[in-house]
Structure 1
Amino acid sequence: MQCVIVGTGGQGILFASKVMGHIAMGKGQNVVGSEVHGMAQRGGSVVSHFKVGDYLSPMVKAGEADLLLAFDQNEAVRNIHFLKDGGDLVVNLYDPEAFKNERLQSYIEKHDIKVHSIEGYSILKEHMGGKFLFLNVLILGAMSGSSVESGSIEDVRKAIEELSPSRFVQDNLKVLELGYEATAH
């Protein structure tokens, strides 16, 4: 499995990568990942590459990612070229109309990309008092609810219980369920 995780600095991309790696290693699978690229400390674009399986390089080539986790809709558009035909895009939408761009929709259809969207900021405003630091776990829940190959909700829940700082465990578990429920079919 090849995955690219994108967003902006401060959205928790490293923690999401850590959770996914923890799940894979717990199953005895090989994991390689890149360091985060971009201006993480300044709120700029951040891209993390992550592979599970018999890979030597952590970098995902354009057109080969099975999964794109996008914590920001603009970063999803900038990095959609990493997805293979038939790949899955889990994306946080804050302006759904902007994502209905004709060229973007044409690209998605041409490449048979499965889009699993969640209005993360709205959910976090309503249920978490606007604590956006939980967006990463919300997206992991949406990934599990979308039934992409990266991990079941049980696997993600267990990893979060083991990896979260103790003061965030309960909130992370609540947010995980919110993301799962928002995309579960």
Structure 2
Amino acid sequence: MDHLIFSPQVALRGSRTYVHSTTLYEQLIRAATSLGLQIRGPLDMRVNRLIRKQPSLCFCEGPLGANYEEPAVVSFYVGETPWHCLVSERSERVTRSEVYDEESIRKNAIVEGQTIRLDGKVNASPFEVVTSLTLQLHNALLSIPPGRKWFLGRVQLQRLLVEEDAQKIRITLAKKTGLGLTRCAIEISTSAIGTIDFILGPST
């Protein structure tokens, strides 16, 4: 089967100078729908380096190979068949920015020990809630050197997130490796649904 290519026009979120992980996830779902692919989990998204230009999403049938150079890769299923998506950069710059307001998530977030959850409704997608709560938990529990910040490195989901998940998401710090790598458990209410890894990198 030929590769299926989707080349969106994306915007940077807030003051960021790179394409945010929430944009990548959103465009993956949008691209699959546009291409007629009904994707499902388990889903594994790895971001190996920041994407600063317009992305290109290449959907390929079959499992992901061991060798790839793309800045982001996603593995998932279509029916019972494994597929993957290679996310590369086009030459075109990202020239537009859009408002990305996480304030409602921050205001409604409650940290309880190693866990963070929402205590109120927010106007955000479930994946936005996952990433925002994870960052808030890191900022609450972990100290980092000046000039460094946390980035999403990998997210693994047993199934795709749905809108009803947003208010039920719980993030728990499960593992910290060295100074710059963490893994958090993602739960919907009290049911485990996946993990999210953060990597410490330069803030510029």
Whether TM exceeds 0.5 here: the answer is no
* TM-score when normalising by structure 1: 0.32
Larger Rg: 2
The two structures have a TM-score, normalised by structure 2, of 0.30
- Higher-helix-fraction structure: 1
